[in-house]
Amino acid sequence: MTFFAHNRVDADVEAFARDLFEGAVVNIDQLNRLLREHADDRRLERMAAIDRNILRVALYELLRPPETPPAAVINEALEVARRFSGGDSVEFVNGVLDAIRETLVPREPQSK
């Protein structure tokens, strides 16, 4: 992640971001399957690359043990889409993530 080569951030923030990125890469097949199931008629290959990747990272975070509440994960994904993507992206990302969130079994927070 070249971002961290040029930007200083807190070590915990960097570790969290790296974990999300690496987790999304390692689990890309599972994430893509979920996207295909819940993205209505939009084919994965035809989605804007930024939307596809916002969705993958957010989905990975939704599927792992809950450090962040699902509503906060979705809100952060929407903020990223609002900042870096185009017109209908926020509504699209929200619709897909909310549809998937509704299918997930509620998770208990991990104790630290």
pLDDT tens digits in sequence order for the chain, 112 residues long: 567 778 888 999 899 999 999 999 999 999 999 999 988 777 888 899 999 999 999 999 999 877 789 999 999 999 999 999 988 899 999 999 999 999 887 656 555 5
Q: What's the CA gap between 76 and 16, in Å, rounded?
A: 14
The DSSP 8-state label assigned to residue 66 in this structure reads -
Whole-model pTM: value is 0.86
Q: What region does 40 belong to: left with phi over 0, alpha with psi -120 to 50, or beta? A: left
Domains of the chain: 3-103 (1.10.940.10)
The answer to whether 94 and 74 are in contact (CB under 8 A) is yes
CA dihedral for 63, 66, 71, 74, sign (positive or negative): negative
